[in-house]
Amino acid sequence: MRKLVILSALFLSGCQTTQLLTTKEQVVILPSETMYNCPVAVYYPKPEKLTELQVARLLVELNKNNKICKNSIESIRRFLNESKAELEAKK
């Protein structure tokens, strides 16, 4: 029983010293859902009966969707780089 009293006194004496703890809070800023804009072709015609005009229209639609998605990804990348720069400036 004496060992328990001595040990508890040692633990309590260790808690009496004051230490200054500092922490830094970093907030994660997520891009809005509207920035994720990657359209998908909804309709794919049957390849057995495709005409040249249908192939051309499908390629134009896929190219347009690819450009929109590329622009969206680039805007997300810019947003994240700006957020990172703001966080680093606050340090």
pTM: 0.62
Q: How many residues does the chain have?
A: 91
pLDDT one-digit tens code per residue, 55-84: 999 999 999 999 999 999 999 999 999 988
CB neighbours of residue 62 within 10 Å? 14
Q: How far apart are the first and last CA of the chain?
A: 51
The residue extents of the domains of the chain are: 26-90
pLDDT one-digit tens code per residue, 26-44: 777 788 888 889 998 888 8
For residue 50, give the 3-state DSSP assignment. Answer: coil
Cα 45 to chain centroid distance, Å, stands at 36
User: Which residue's entry shows tokens 């969707």?
Assistant: 65
